[in-house]
Structure 1
Amino acid sequence: MQLRSQQGDTLDLILFRHYGYTAGITEQVLNLNPGLASLGPIIPTGTLITMPAAPTQAEQPLIQLWD
């Protein structure tokens, strides 16, 4: 999937808007898009960014302190 950046977008903002989180996905996006980091913190408007498939996050079990 590809997304096009909007005015004032940062990579973190784009990832949070698309996935709802940024941890662990930023590195994958930078690997898929050589040269993206060299564009600076504010990505130019209209830049195409290739996005990886969203990894499924394992649900963590709920720990009860008192039963």
Structure 2
Amino acid sequence: MTTYTVRLPDGERLDRIAKALFGSERDGATETLLDANPGLAALGPVIPAGTVVVVPDAVTAPADDTQRIWE
């Protein structure tokens, strides 16, 4: 694991941090950051400057619990 420090003066959205670090904000990237950083969601939609975010080595893809009526 590594860390990422929010440096933008006005803060930064977590989905943009995920995209910068993992190349995408989808497929569990944003959720992986939230799981690795308890309390991060409580900071609101914009993560304040100076916040240190723990970055896991890999993205944990969400479980596909979609139910399809034709299966």
Q: TM-score, normalised by structure 2?
A: 0.69
Q: Give 1:47-62 correspondences, 5 Å limit.
A: 47-55=51-59
1:4 alignment partner AA: T
Q: Give 1:1-67 correspondences, 5 Å limit.
A: 1-7=2-8, 8-23=11-26, 24-55=28-59
Q: Following TM superposition, where does structure 1 have runs of at least 4 consecutive aligned residues deviating by more than 4 angstroms?
A: none
Q: TM-score, normalised by structure 1?
A: 0.73
Mark the runs of 5 or more structure 2 residues left unpaired by the alignment: 60-71
In the aligned structure 2, how far is the partner of 1:18 from the partner of 1:32?
A: 14
Greater Rg by CA: 1
Mark the runs of 5 or more structure 1 residues left unpaired by the alignment: 56-67
Structure having the higher strand fraction is 2
Q: How many residues align?
A: 55
In the aligned structure 2, how far is the partner of 1:9 from the partner of 1:19?
A: 16
